[in-house]
Chain A
């Protein structure tokens, strides 16, 4: 009996081991790369469906290659899980990451420079992508990532209500107040406009538009203690308490979705990522809404930044990983990205496609936001100082209390933020490779002028342009280097 038990256990162990060995190979001799991205969770998520399709299409286009796509990691846990793999020395070959998470990886030397791939690959054209995101993928002269998807802010408005009131969507701050007041008078709407006043994210474009900034170009000084920053915060607060065109309860927990859904607001500031799902979430307003660029202050600049694709330095198949990245960001794939996820594409060539223009007119209308948007400073400590200190010390306080001293709150927050910045520089004096060095990666002549506009980037720049839009128009000139069609797919 005992003998039989031993034999049985040995057989079971052999079965498991051999079976696992077979599973590891899969009877599969294909070259394999591992791709990671985060999602909202569940296989029904649109992002998951997109990437699974990209992986299968890539395998069909590249026989002998297998793509193991890990697509169901929740955003909140993504960086932790990715970190664990890096620490274990087994990172994915290619992965998606938010731009504000990349400084840490660059600082640790975990990303593969992409300059040689960009230079050698004639099918990849940097000028096909928005300048801000191209710049964000660079540190000095080294490119570490390529753009995948960028988000921007826009003004959602109810076309029926504005038409009823006989007003056009506002293009400036003063027009925003005037249009809101008109809506209140003519339609009886108590608070016609909405945004998230306590969200530090949405304060950034207001600050930039008013001529202010957050950090010095070398990322060593916090520069929020200035009249333009205080003025921008005051304007947003005045929308609630002085002009009374925005509901003060938005500073105490009321949600944009609830107000928009109930029809109590005619205009709201929200992200371009909501465009694709608006008709699904708010079917009652189908065909009765539109988007416009954010109302401009002294400057006309909005937010633009998002996700990048990058290759781990430890990847065993960097060439293949690069091919996958180019495949995923090609125009045809980016059209699928918009079709499946409802999010705007990052490849500007997609905007020339009649199918894209027909299916996504809202994105076409917001193309300029991609071209003249700017991103927050990409410093390792940025989230801590902006979404931590600034949001809690300034916005959480002054937006709820119309009598709170904005200048004093900003001054106090600036001191705490500066302490965090100084601490970061003390701990990482030389290794913070994301700061100071103005990006000098090739971005294409078309975008070079935009990148040198300090009003767009807030840093560097030697030739200020009179207008953001010089040299930029719908449709791109033909590139003599390009092969016909979409070579990457």
Chain B
């Protein structure tokens, strides 16, 4: 007796293969998902729950409702930490992006000794965070640091870099830029090397100068990577902790107290785990809002890039037909 013709993809062998593929895929994903679940999702959920409790360092817990969040809004130290963090992000992120982009543009050229310079330049990436901090602690030392020695030679007074409310954060930003710009320039360099040479050459033929080529060809081409760098840099900046913890402990007078350091102090020095969790989730909320805004910016840029490239290609096509 003839049977119904099988639809393509619906025959038992095809379904069985798809099922097999799905199971195989899930099996490979399972360890990673398990780690994410155990190390991220569960602790995150527990921490979120703890933020609504009074929890001591010995895990004695009592329900607190929104007490910790109300306390956060009235805590002058925490609010100052938020302000310091926003100030740090506002200064560090654009500078980081500009410096990383400038370096990657310079390194994108071919010149003698380029490989050697690239290797030397990436040393900050290889140096560990604590080592870098120790180096900068010496550089900014008030009595023995080379920076003050140089200033003294030029006739200026010694600056108490890490002891000054005004200069401490700038010193830390300098350290962070030194460490971070090299890393992000590596990413941007890879993106620059992916920019279509045809578009560049076409722009040159059309008489576009270097600035115009950068603005209308290079920038749109690397926009996605640039936005990724911006987002990663911003998230890292919001979570900045190490330099402040090692160099200044948030001082002087809370001038370098950041929200991540505040959460750490609250949890491990103050023993207030519930409040520390509330601070951490408040920071998470801020990061999510900022990241969402940046994603929007990325999408707009992508649209602009698509339009720019499409227009350039149409023009090339017309030029070719005219020729």
A residues touching B (Cβ–Cβ < 8 Å)?
A: 79-80, 83, 86-87, 104-105, 107-108, 110, 249, 251-254, 258, 380, 383-384, 388-389, 392-393, 396-397, 400, 416, 419, 423, 427
CB-contact partner of A252 in B54, B62, B77, B142, under 8 A: B142
Q: How far is the CA of A419 from the CA of B74 in the complex (A)?
A: 10
Query: Is the CB–CB distance between B76 and A249 below 8 Å?
Result: no
**Quick one: which of A87, A380, A397, A400 has the most chain B CB within 10 A?**
A400
Q: How far is the CA of A80 from the CA of B162 in the complex (A)?
A: 28
Provide the residues of chain B in CB contact with A392, threshold 8 Å: 250-254
Provide the residues of chain B in CB contact with A80, threshold 8 Å: 268
Q: How far is the CA of A393 from the CA of B74 in the complex (A)?
A: 17
- Chain B: how many interface residues by the 8 Å CB criterion? 30
Given contacts A104-B56, A108-B56, A108-B58, contact A416 B268 (CB under 8 A): no
**How close is B11's CB to chain A, nearest CB, in angstroms?**
38
Dominant SS among interface residues on chain A: helix
25 sampled A-B residue pairs with Cβ under 8 A: A80-B268, A86-B58, A104-B58, A105-B58, A108-B56, A108-B58, A249-B143, A251-B163, A253-B141, A253-B142, A253-B143, A253-B162, A258-B143, A384-B269, A389-B77, A392-B252, A392-B253, A393-B253, A396-B253, A397-B253, A416-B77, A423-B71, A427-B54, A427-B62, A427-B64
Q: How far is the CA of A384 from the CA of B64 in the complex (A)?
A: 21
Q: How far is the CA of A392 from the CA of B76 in the complex (A)?
A: 13
CB-contact partner of A87 in B59, B77, B160, B265, under 8 A: B59
CB-contact partner of A384 in B58, B76, B143, B270, under 8 A: B270
Query: Is the CB–CB distance between A254 and B142 below 8 Å?
Result: yes
**How close is A237's CB to chain B, nearest CB, in angstroms?**
15
**How close is B291's CB to chain A, nearest CB, in angstroms?**
31
Given contacts A87-B58, A108-B58, A253-B162, contact A396 B76 (CB under 8 A): no
The residue on B at minimum CB distance from A423 is B71
Q: How far is the CA of A258 from the CA of B160 in the complex (A)?
A: 16
Query: Is the CB–CB distance between A254 and B58 below 8 Å?
Result: no
Given contacts A392-B253, A396-B253, A397-B253, contact A104 B271 (CB under 8 A): yes
Q: How far is the CA of A105 from the CA of B58 in the complex (A)?
A: 8
B153 an interface residue at 8 Å Cβ cutoff? no
CB-contact partner of A396 in B56, B74, B251, B268, under 8 A: B251
Q: Give residues of chain B (35-68) contacting chain A, Cβ–Cβ below 8 Å.
A: 54, 56-60, 62, 64
**How close is B191's CB to chain A, nearest CB, in angstroms?**
42
Q: A253-B141, A253-B142, A400-B252 are in contact. List 18 more A-B contacts (CB 8 A).
A: A79-B57, A83-B58, A87-B58, A107-B56, A108-B56, A108-B60, A249-B142, A249-B160, A252-B160, A253-B160, A384-B269, A388-B77, A393-B253, A397-B253, A400-B163, A416-B76, A423-B71, A427-B54
Provide the residues of chain A in CB contact with B71, threshold 8 Å: 423
CB-contact partner of B163 in A107, A252, A419, under 8 A: A252
B14 an interface residue at 8 Å Cβ cutoff? no
Q: How far is the CA of A107 from the CA of B57 in the complex (A)?
A: 11
Q: How far is the CA of A157 from the CA of B239 in the complex (A)?
A: 46
Q: How far is the CA of A80 from the CA of B58 in the complex (A)?
A: 10
Q: How far is the CA of A11 from the CA of B160 in the complex (A)?
A: 65
Provide the residues of chain A in CB contact with B141, threshold 8 Å: 253
Provide the residues of chain B in CB contact with A108, threshold 8 Å: 56, 58, 60
B163-197: contact bitstring with A at CB < 8 Å (1 yes, 0 no)?
11100000000000000000000000000000000
Query: Is the CB–CB distance between B143 and A380 below 8 Å?
Result: no
**How close is B51's CB to chain A, nearest CB, in angstroms?**
14
Dominant SS among interface residues on chain B: loop
Q: Give residues of chain B (117-169) contacting chain A, Cβ–Cβ below 8 Å.
A: 141-143, 160, 162-165
Query: Is the CB–CB distance between B54 and A83 below 8 Å?
Result: no
Provide the residues of chain A in CB contact with B143, threshold 8 Å: 249, 253-254, 258
Query: Is the CB–CB distance between A396 and B252 below 8 Å?
Result: yes
Provide the residues of chain B in CB contact with A104, threshold 8 Å: 56-58, 271
The residue on B at minimum CB distance from A392 is B253
**How close is B240's CB to chain A, nearest CB, in angstroms?**
19
**How close is A295's CB to chain B, nearest CB, in angstroms?**
27
The list of the 9 closest CB pairs from A to B, nearest first, reads A252-B160, A396-B253, A253-B163, A253-B142, A252-B163, A396-B252, A108-B58, A392-B253, A427-B54
**How close is B65's CB to chain A, nearest CB, in angstroms?**
13
**How close is A393's CB to chain B, nearest CB, in angstroms?**
7
Q: How far is the CA of A79 from the CA of B269 in the complex (A)?
A: 9
**How close is B58's CB to chain A, nearest CB, in angstroms?**
5
**How close is A245's CB to chain B, nearest CB, in angstroms?**
20
Q: How far is the CA of A104 from the CA of B268 in the complex (A)?
A: 13
Provide the residues of chain B in CB contact with A423, threshold 8 Å: 71
Q: How far is the CA of A31 from the CA of B247 in the complex (A)?
A: 46
**How close is A27's CB to chain B, nearest CB, in angstroms?**
36
Q: How far is the CA of A226 from the CA of B271 in the complex (A)?
A: 30
Provide the residues of chain A in CB contact with B251, threshold 8 Å: 392, 396
**How close is A247's CB to chain B, nearest CB, in angstroms?**
11
**How close is A474's CB to chain B, nearest CB, in angstroms?**
41
**How close is B268's CB to chain A, nearest CB, in angstroms?**
6
Provide the residues of chain B in CB contact with A83, threshold 8 Å: 57-58
Q: How far is the CA of A33 from the CA of B98 in the complex (A)?
A: 60
**How close is A405's CB to chain B, nearest CB, in angstroms?**
15
Provide the residues of chain A in CB contact with B253, threshold 8 Å: 392-393, 396-397
Q: How far is the CA of A384 from the CA of B142 in the complex (A)?
A: 28
Q: How far is the CA of A377 from the CA of B58 in the complex (A)?
A: 22
**How close is A177's CB to chain B, nearest CB, in angstroms?**
26
**How close is B61's CB to chain A, nearest CB, in angstroms?**
11
Q: How far is the CA of A165 from the CA of B26 in the complex (A)?
A: 85
Q: How far is the CA of A110 from the CA of B58 in the complex (A)?
A: 10
The residue on A at minimum CB distance from B250 is A392
Provide the residues of chain A in CB contact with B269, threshold 8 Å: 383-384
The residue on A at minimum CB distance from B54 is A427
The residue on B at minimum CB distance from A394 is B253
Provide the residues of chain A in CB contact with B165, threshold 8 Å: 396
Provide the residues of chain B in CB contact with A254, threshold 8 Å: 142-143
Provide the residues of chain B in CB contact with A249, threshold 8 Å: 142-143, 160
Q: How far is the CA of A384 from the CA of B275 in the complex (A)?
A: 14
Provide the residues of chain A in CB contact with B64, threshold 8 Å: 427
Provide the residues of chain A in CB contact with B268, threshold 8 Å: 80
